[in-house]
Structures are given as C-alpha cells and as structure tokens.
Amino acid sequence: MNQHQWTERKTMEVDGQAMPENRRQAPDVPVDRLRALLEAHRGERHIIVLQDYPDPDALSSAFAHQLISAQFDITADIVYRGRISHQQNTALVKILGIELRRFEPDMDLGVYQGAVLVDNQGNTASAILAALQTANVPILAVVDHHETQERPDVPFVDIRRTGATATIYAEYLQQGLLPMDGSRKEHVLVATALMHGIMTDTGNFIRAKPEDFYAAAFLSQYRDAELIAQVMSQARSKQTMEIIRLALGNRVIVENFSVAGIGYLRAVDRDAIPQAADFLLTEENVHTSLVYGILIGDDGSESLIGSMRTRKLTLDLDEFIKDVFGKDAAGRYFGGGKLSAAGFEIPIGFLAGGTNKEYQELKWQAFDAQVKQKILTRIGVNSADMAKYLTPASSQRQ
C-alpha cells in the first residue's frame, strides 16, 4: 500500500457509515460498481465458483456474496469441485449452515445467467471454468486478493492485495451493501465467518495489513467469538496426523529449505499437505517449507500437488512457484499464490492410474526426484551435490 492510500484510509472510521463523502460518490469505488452490477442483474440466478479445495476465506466470502446477492433478488449457488477437507472447514460449513453444491460434470449450468469468482480468478477452479464456458455462462465478477490474472471481459473486477478476500467483503458490508443487524442470525454468522477467514489467511493477524485490521474491527461488532473458538479447536484427523508424520520423516533440509514428499493421498486428505507445510516451517533454521504428494481424485485422476510456506521476507513464493514449475500447454501457470504461501497442482494425465504397486512406487519416485531436482536447482545446489538429496522417499504409508 502506498503512502497516499494509507493516508486516505486513516480517515476511515471503523464503526459504520464511515467513508468520506467524496469517496462514497466517486464512480470508481468498488462497492458502488458492484451495487450497480447486481442491480442490473436483479432477479437472476448466479453461480459462485470457489477454488477446488475451498478455505475459510473462500467459504466466508462466498457466503457474504450470497447474502449480498439476495438483497437484489439474485439466487446465488456456491459451487466447488474438490473436497472440503480441513477439519476446521468442515466445522465452519456445518456450524454456519452454508449450503454448498459439489460440481459434477453433468451439472446443468444453463440455469445460471452469470458466474462470480470469489477468492480465486479461475485458475484454481479450471474444470468449472471450462464447463461454464461451454455452457456460455459469462463471468460477471471477480473478487480476489491473489496476483492478478488476465480476465479482460469481466465487467466487475475487484482484486486488491489485502490479507484476505474476506477483508474486501467486510468492507462491502461496512459500506452498506448488506445493512448489518446484530439481531439477525445470518448477519452474526457472516461476520463470524469473515473474521475467521481473515484470521486464517493472515496467520491470526500476524501478516495482516491495516485494511485487514479495519475489517476485523468492523466485524468484531457482530461476530460470535465463541463460534470462532469452536471452529478453531477442531481436532486433526488420524490421516492428517499420518501425512504430517510422513512429511517429518521424509524431509530434506537444504539451505534453510525443508522439502518433503509424502507419496499418494486421497482427496479427503488434501488439506493435510498445507498443514504439514505449516508444521515443517516451525523447525529452527528452516525459513521455507514445501510438502508435496500425488493426489488421487475421486474419479481416479491423479495430480501432483504441493504447498509452500515461507518466513523469509525477501522470498516471493508466487514468483518462486511460477518460476520453478512453469506453465501448462495452454499457457496457464501450474501454481502460484501469495508472498508467504503458495501452492501448485500439475495433472499427471496419461501416467495416472495403475493398480500395480511396483508401478505406483516407480511413478512416485520419478515425480519425487523431479520436484526435488527443480527446487534444489532453483535454490542453487550444484549437480555434483544433487545426488545425495535424491535418495527416494518411499510412498508407502505403513
């Protein structure tokens, strides 16, 4: 944030109709443009598209978008493709009663007049995006806080480098897009969810920026603190613990990077990967962690997935991941993210499947070695030293 914006923000109060009059009237204020867009689409049915493995920031922002849309008689279905896999996310969805629809290839998308991308720009929800394109459903809005991807035809784009997308939605609420009423249950729930979204995306405010704190201050008037405590105290599953154990056992530490492959995992355990990466980062003399594995989807498809975390301020993980793993044939990056947290997903395609254990093992070793080589080369390990780091870590769970 530059000095000018910061000065402007300082004039904002945290408790209500707060924006200075001149800014509220300005035509380029996002909330006004979003209001105009929703007004123009009154009475329609929209699809809110989430990333394949939605996190609390995505879930809460989608929930907020759904409530805002209802103000304009717009029915908005929240759709995602992967799994709700983190124990806290399952709890969040249950407690909030958020209604989610899981994407199926035979879903009739023709019922939607428009799509909204929340906490993503389509590249982490590529299957749904492709289906929407086939069904001629236009993308009406993108609200996100990741690095900007090109989406030239979208009428409403609000991408800001805030700590969370929930921060942007909290601002919409504060600016009157959904007049908040503390006695209404769904308003308490949306405030609670957005607060949790900001907390998880900023590492409990450790990486929060001024606008995230402003948003949290506003939400604190409505949120249910007990509910947040309940969501956050959910225990990890046995499988998640097991994947963390594998990451710990398989990790290779080079130049303060801790790198671990964990072999194959199922879609329901997807979220154990970032949790393991978070855990490896807690070791002393480690500033960056990477945990990866081969995800076996419910449909038998396979993809190499990974999560990366860093505490090193000078390391831009978004750039790092894009640089190391590159783009697919269509020119889209396999991954990216924020400065301190990023991930990637590379479809294995033709090599997927195979029930033969030996073949599975061989395949894992090839991918394991390839990821390590790419990462270690980028870190600066020379080819003579490379061999000693490439002893394959077994994919076996026992």
Residue ranges in contact with Mn ion by CB under 5 A = 57, 119, 165, 201
Amino acid of residue 380: G
Residue 263 belongs to what H/E stretch?
Answer: strand 257-266
- The nearest distance, CB 89 to Mn ion, in angstroms, is 13
Instruction: Give the number of other CB atoms < 10 A from CB of residue 126.
Output: 17
Q: What does DSSP say about strands 257-266 and 139-144: parallel, antiparallel, or unpaired?
A: unpaired
Residue number, 85 or 360, with CB nearest to Mn ion: 85
Smallest gap from Cβ 170 to Mn ion, in A, equals: 13
Structure tokens at 208: 């929060």
Least spacing, CB of residue 57 vs Mn ion, in Å: 3
Q: Give the pair of three-digit tokens for residue 55.
A: 């996190």
Nearest distance in Å: CB 50, Mn ion: 11
Assign residue 177 a region: left if phi > 0, alpha if psi is -120 to 50, beta otherwise? alpha
CA distance 82 to 298: 9
Q: In 3D, which of 300, 289, 298, 292 has the Cα closest to residue 272?
A: 292
What 3-state DSSP class applies to 239? helix
Q: Which is nearer to Mn ion, 60 or 360 (CB)?
A: 60
CB closer to Mn ion out of 165 and 340: 165
Of the pair 213, 389, the CB lying nearest Mn ion is at 213
Q: Which is nearer to Mn ion, 201 or 316 (CB)?
A: 201
Smallest separation, CB 162 to Mn ion (Å): 9
Provide, rounded to whole angstroms, the least separation between the CB of residue 339 and Mn ion: 13
Print burial letters for 131-148: b (CB count within 10 Å at least 16), e (below 16).
Answer: bbeeeebebbbbbbbbbe
Q: Which residue is nearest to Mn ion (CB)?
A: 57
Contact of 120 with 54, CB cutoff 8 Å: no
Q: Which is nearer to Mn ion, 201 or 368 (CB)?
A: 201
